[in-house]
Structure 1
Amino acid sequence: MSRRRTVVVITLTYALFAGLWIASSDTLLSILVEDSTLRMQIGSAKGFVYVAVTTLLLYLLLDSWRLSTLEAEEERRRPRLGVVLTAFLGLALVVPVIGVAVVRLHGRQIELEAYANLQTVAELKARQIQSWLAERDGDGRALAQSSGFALRLARWLNSGVAAERDLVQDRLSSMQSSLHYEGVVLLDANGRTVYASGSRREVPAAIQSLMAQARVRGDVVRSDLYLDESDRLHLDWIVPIRNPQRPSENVIAFVLLHVEPDRALYPLILSWHAPSPTAESFLVRREADSVVYLNELRHRVGAPLSLRLPLTTDGLPAAAAIANGEPLTMTGIDYRGVSVLAATRSIADTPWHLVAKVDREEVMAPLRNLVWWVSLVTICAIAAVAALILMYLRQQRRADRWAVQAEASERIRELNAQLEQRVIARTRQLAEANRELESFAYAVSHDLKAPLRGIIGYSRLLETEYSQQLVEEGRDFVCQINHAAMQMHQLIDDLLAYSRIERGTIAMTPTDLPAFVDGVLANCRPAIVETGAKVSVNIPRVTVPLDSNGLSMALRNVIDNAVKFSSHATPPRIEIGAHIGPASCVIWVRDNGIGFDMKFHDRMFEVFSRLDSNGDFPGTGVGLGIVRKAMQRMGGQAWAEGEIGRGACFFLKLPLMPTAA
């Protein structure tokens, strides 16, 4: 009955979890996250967590059928099972809660920072444009108020004095070159060209209306951006000149100051303070019911005065800037139909409005990466906690079993007649456990190596058959995949070798030591030949008792280690020798490689401990652990001595029997 209740609780918990997950998670994501790519990434993490939690719950469901029918043991396990279910439900909610929290808190903070940057850029550019226009207005007013220039111009136009003409022309030419105008044109009172300096020599028809305004106002008049008859962009200033001796008379001449916007104005608008693939700023103005873009755009060629969008376009920052007139920040859709964050400013004394904007996708890219990494770390943490919980449950069940066995042992000790049967049963259980452990090791080897072989095979096929269709970065990725799979394959082999040492039997037999060392060197010959190492051997003729499998594995790993870490020496040198004492035999292998710091001499024999943190030398970090384990199994020991940059020497010490020669 207790077992049935457990199954019902697990089943109802799974159904509730699945229903809540499916019903709420997608809806919540669609409300909180606008970016489809970000939703996809969070959805992938969400799906992974769903599968993991489902698997764990199903595991508990199946495992419950194997529980003991003893009522007392069921009573002890039921509270732990409830705690586990509660923990898993809490962990399952961690990822969506963290995702929502990151999007809500950090996402809003990123948007506020982006708006602040855009406001700063818009304000700065608006001031730069206003300052630039004010400088040009000041140039025109300074010329209009110059009585000396006006007197010379009047004498030239009225009397044709050549000296005055030259002075006037020099003044206009100097003004054009020093103040960086593309053209300066002198017009008489009737609008006829008298003199022209620079690239601008023709006067568009639109200038006539500006001359009339300047004549009436008696002040400098600035044109708006416009296209002339040849579709050239213009921005002009009309400066009226009056005779200071007869101020009541009409204007005697006009000076046209011409600026080409793409050389002088547009660089102020298009420049951006930091590298960005999508950010830009531009000017717009209203013409009838349309928004007209006034300068070149980053994502569209030929936009000045030709790109027009309706003022009624929903979410268009340029239209909002014209309609509002006040500085604003907003999320909208730009002229490409892309979601953007924008800030706007009006340019004083002009019909222009400046818009600074950046794609929302670019702004939210750090958030997307943050959500991805937070989800990944959270999932890893959940997996680790789940593994610990499962280990805890197994340990508790094992502890329960040992407790039951201890009680049984106590009863057995009380009943001498059953002692022998209990010992036999315990021995059988231990043997079965060892067989299961060995079967598990081989199963792990097969199950882990099978997908690795597939990865290696397919990556090699991809490299050989489709390398021409991949870019350089893609080919490098394939090589990295193949290299990582090979490293994993080698690591599995090393771990299995390490476990076999622990389970294997020791067979100490008298062995000819020089012949044994020569046999190990023969197995290491390919690596020695590849590096060009020079090997010298000085082993005395002696027969020592040793376990050939264990010492062969230890010596081979030490020689491979010496070949690997001396491969950069010129040339690599390896010395192998032995010293026979009264109670022990010490075999040593010395190289001229990179050496090591002696303060790490104990740590280097630990499994997965590598002193080469830069990864310049390949390896799994298991080899020297195999050496120490093999020597310990034979009753010996292994140690090393070295100095950074001056090589290393590894020692293998074997105990000798009294009859050894």
Structure 2
Amino acid sequence: MVATASAQKKVFLSDFHFDTSSNSIDINLVIPILSSTGNHSTCVAVLLLAIDPHTFLYPLIQSWPTPSTSGETLLVKRDGNDVLFLSNLRFRKNSALRFRKPLTQNTMPAARAALGQEGIFDGIDYRGAPVLTVIRRIPDSPWAMITKIDSSEIYAPISKRISYVAACAVMLLVSIWLGVSLWWFRKRETYQRMLYQTELKLNDDLRKAELSLQEAHGLLEQRVTQRTQELSDANAKLRQQIIAREQLEKRLLEAKKLESIGQIAGGVAHEVRNPLNAILSVTEALFREQEIENNPEYKPYLVHVRTQVSRLAHLMNDLLELGKPIPASTFQNIPLFDLCAETLDLWKSSGMAVNKRAVLSSDHENTGAQVLADKLKLQQVVFNLLENAGNNSPKGSKIKLHLKESDSNGSTNTMATVLIIDEGRGISADKIERIFDPFYSDRKGGTGLGLALVKHFIENMGGTVRIWNNDPPPGCTAEIRIPLATQKQEEQV
């Protein structure tokens, strides 16, 4: 600073700092002494004055013009991310240049002052006490001066003065009553009445102000709650739209995949079906040949050929079904319980239910609920799921076909639910997401089209299908949901 003052030929006042030689706080005043020769001046010496703030500045800052239990004047500045207290505090000794607080405590007046704010503020001081504060910046310096007093001390005289005013009024009335004659008594009564009415009016105004404030607080809380609810509803709606769009994109991708499969299947079926029919016809003709009847060792080979040709023809039919939508004209009202019972009997008679117990049950005594669907396709769906459950269930296990009604619109039932519950080995977690993909199968000899056809048929009929592992194990549950026929549709049947 001495070199700067000498070079710039200006007077400089330093910041508060510790003097290591005296181990005390100083402020240095640097005054260059100039020698002028013509228009040129040269610094010949520098006068360095060390100012002890404890002599005059600190006592001046710490003084208060009136008696006060909490009044205090502070000198602060910003030091990095902290506010540094430059003067000793009334309630914290030896705090000058030692005590600091972070600027993040924006309710503290010292932090406001260090950030460059000025004015009158309510806040919380370094003791954690509510205070009323006046902040002013000191020009041409990084310092700010804070004058503060506890809020409790500021507002305490108000109640006292009200008491004093009331006491004085009473004393005045008593003096008037003692000093006047009896004929002035009536005037005194009038005056007392007017005073009482004024007090009532003041109390009434105060009560109205309190009610208005409470009403404003309630209205603010109501608006905040309303806006919060609106934001929550908007977020929920946005999530639903995102989920719906993802589902739509997924279904569109599946539809394109099925369309491609259908086009390929149509071309393959056209080229393969005629040769298959020819092979099957030749095989049936060979069964009727006398030479074959006289040579039974040929018969197993012909049976194997006929079985494989029939299996391949069935695969071609499944591929064609997978690529075609179900026309709405085939939809009809179907008693769901009767269809499930008929399909269960058909599955039992097919020989697939050997060594397994299959039962049909319902949540409701009224089993006459009707669904709107394609009967043959819905029967094939239930049959395929029963077949899938049977193929994955051990001997002696139980397969349950259960019906229930589920509601999706408040109290209005719009969907019927069918559950096929088995006691098999379940599905591993890495495979359960792919079970409805075409040509995916973890069973030896499976085509991988059964569950794909189930999903295709159910979704074309306006329903849904899902499969999950039972908790607790064993086995898994397949669920299909089909739209119920409306009352009007039932009456038209």
TM-score normalised by length of structure 2? 0.37
TM-score normalised by length of structure 1? 0.28
Greater C-alpha Rg: 2
Q: Which has the higher strand share?
A: 2
